[in-house]
Amino acid sequence: MTSLLCTENPRGEARALFDSHICTSQQVFDNLLLLELRYTPRTNYIETVQNVVQSESRRLCTSWMLELTEDCKFEDTVFPMAVSIMDRFLCLGSVSRAQFQLTACTSLMMASKLRSVHGIPGAIFEHHSNYTINSAQLVSWEALMAFKMKWDLESVTANDFVDHMIARLPAIQKLQQSRIVRCHAHVLAHLAITDSSTITMKPSLIATAAIIGALRGLNLHSVSSEQICDLTGAAPSTVEYLVMLTEKLLENYTTNVNHSLQCFDSYPTP
């Protein structure tokens, strides 16, 4: 039995290695483009379904969700998945103010189970909600949300497109800037989905704008915006609007919030 004893003491979180075969596969990329149509809300629930949830309250809520995932140092795929779950659930029916906060917390908890090595414990939400939410409420609301959404929780997010798109841009690979561009693109994509105007936008569109914005922020001009837009078939005018929106959101976030997101220090100072 002693030969079966494992004395390894792993540290950190186990992460899957980059698989170039998957990221460069056209079939995988086409499947992502097809799947996003299934999970992107077709209407803005703020205008058609919800009475309490407004654009500003959603912005504050998603910003709080983003800060919480950063404080807890969870994978950067957790936040966009949580927002996707929350948005799709809020399309199904109206909620009260208290239920809106509970929905946000539950969405984060569910997303952490789907996209993180370790799920977010309920005690975290109790603390960050000033104990207005308890673990029993989270478990009960999680069951309700899963039932209402027919257990179809996993979806395609903007983060899922970033690696596949960067892998199709050889100019970035030659400059060996793919890692930092990826990091900056994720930051911009996260900020973009905090704005209610992006609720009905496809993740591939948000990813396109995020990559273009990241390249501009890093003063990398080796790839044209048109070339990036061609990857997803996004309209250049819509992408440009979204790039300007993310730049404004980034400026407001760094100015008004005393909380630094990962990778911000890499941006060149004006």
Whether 8 is covered by a domain: the verdict is: no
Which pLDDT does position 3 carry in this prediction?
60
Joined together, the tokens standing for residue 91 give 């399309």
Task: Say what the pLDDT of residue 252 is.
Answer: 83
> Could you say which of 148, 183, 200 is where a domain stops?
148
| pLDDT at 7 (0 to 100) | 59
Is residue 256, in this structure, part of any structural domain at all? yes
pLDDT at 19: 72
Among residues 91, 124, 148, which one ends one of the domains? Answer: 148
Query: pLDDT (tens digit, 0 to 9) for every residue of the chain, 270 residues total?
Result: 456 666 555 555 666 667 777 888 899 999 999 999 999 999 999 999 999 999 999 999 999 999 888 888 888 899 999 999 999 999 999 999 989 999 999 999 999 999 887 777 777 877 777 778 888 999 999 999 999 999 999 999 999 999 999 999 888 777 677 888 999 999 999 999 999 999 999 999 999 999 999 999 888 888 889 999 999 999 999 999 999 999 999 888 777 654 444 444 444 433
Assigned domain for 10 exists:
no
Same domain, 163 and 193: yes
| Predicted TM-score of the model (pTM) | 0.87
Q: Of 148, 177, 206, which one is at a domain's C-terminal end? A: 148
* Pair 129, 210 in one domain: no
Query: According to the model, what pLDDT value does residue 96 have?
Result: 92
Burial of 105-121, coded b for 16+ CB within 10 Å and e otherwise, reads: bbbbbbbbeebbeebbe
Q: How many domains does the chain have?
A: 2
Query: d(Cα 78, Cα 108) in Å, to the nearest integer?
Result: 7
**CATH number of the domain that residue 224 is part of:** 1.10.472.10
From CA 103, how far away is CA 94, in angstroms rounded? 11
In a domain, 24, yes or no: no
CA distance between the termini of the chain: 63
Domain that holds residue 104: 50-148
- Per DSSP, the residues of 30-60 read HHHHHHHHHHS-SS-HHHHT-SS--HHHHHH
Other Cβ atoms within 10 Å of 122 Cβ, number: 19
* Residue-level pLDDT at 187: 93
